[in-house]
Structure 1
Amino acid sequence: MKIIQQFFINIERDDIDSSMKNLVSDGTINSIDIMSLVMEIEKYYQKPLSADFITPENFDNFENIKKMLDEAMK
C-alpha cells in the first residue's frame, strides 16, 4: 500500500490515503487523476497497463488498486 500512496503523492494528491473509500464514485479523483496514476504505475513497473484494467472500479480505493496491480503486473 506504501507504493500506492507514493503514486498519489507523485501526482500531487497527497490529500488521499489508504483509509479513504469511494475515490471515484464520490468524485475525490477524476479521470485525469486516473490517467496520471496510470502513467505513474507504468513508469514504476516499466510496462504498460492494459486498457482492460483502467476502469473506475479499479481505482475506487487502495484495496482495489492493489488487487488490480497484483493481477495486471504478474
Structure 2
Amino acid sequence: MQIVKQFFINIERTDIDESMQNLVSEDIIDSIDIMALVAEIEKYYKKPLKAEFITPENFESFEAIKNMIEQAFI
C-alpha cells in the first residue's frame, strides 16, 4: 500500500490517503489524476499498463489500485 501512497505523493496529491474510498465517483480524482497515476505506475514498473486496466473502477481506492497493479504486473 505504501507504493500506492508514493504514487499519489509523486503526482502532488498528498491530500489523498488510504482510508478514502470512491475517489473517482465522488470526484476526488479526475481523468488527469488517473493519467498521472498511470504514468507513475508505468515509470515504476518500467513497462506500459494495458488499456484494459485503465478503468474508473480500478482507481476508486488504494485497495483497488493495488489489486489492479497485482493483476497487471505481478
Do Structure 1 and Structure 2 share a fold, with TM-score over 0.5? yes
Question: Counterpart in 1 of 2:49?
Answer: 49
Question: Counterpart in 1 of 2:70?
Answer: 70
Question: Counterpart in 1 of 2:5?
Answer: 5
Letter in 1 for 2:29: I
Q: Give the count of matched residue pairs.
A: 74
Letter in 1 for 2:14: D
Runs (4+) of structure 1 exceeding 3 A deviation are none
SS in 1 for 2:49: coil
1:12-56 deviation line (CA, Å, top 9, x unaligned) = 000000000000000000000000000000000000000000000
SS in 2 for 1:63: helix
Question: Counterpart in 2 of 1:26?
Answer: 26
CA distance in 1, matches of 2:60, 2:49: 17
Q: Which runs of 5+ in 2 are unaligned?
A: none
SS in 1 for 2:23: coil
* TM score, norm. by length of structure 1: 0.99
Q: Tell me the CA shift for residue 71 of structure 1.
A: 0.3
RMSD (Å), alpha carbons: 0.4
Task: Name the % identity.
Answer: 68
